[in-house]
Amino acid sequence: MSASLSIRIMVEDAWDSVNLDLPAQTPVAEAKRRALAMTHTDGDPSAYIVKYRGAPVLDEQRTLAEAGVVSNAPLIVMARRRRPVR
For the domain that residue 12 is a member of, what is the CATH number?
Answer: 3.10.20.90
Percentage of the chain exceeding pLDDT 90: 85
Q: How far apart are CA 86 and CA 73, in angstroms?
A: 33
Domain count, the chain: 1
For the full predicted model, state whether its pTM sits above 0.85: yes
Q: Which domain holds residue 40?
A: 4-79
Rounded CA Rg of the chain: 12
Average pLDDT over residues 73-83: 90
Using pLDDT thresholds of 50, 70 and 90, give the confidence band for residue 1. Answer: very low
Residue 11 forms part of a structural domain: yes
Asked whether residue 2 carries a pLDDT value surpassing 80, the answer given is no
User: 67, 80, 73, 74: which is closest to 26 by C-alpha?
Assistant: 67
Residue 86 forms part of a structural domain: no
Contacts of 37 (CB under 8 A, 6+ apart): none
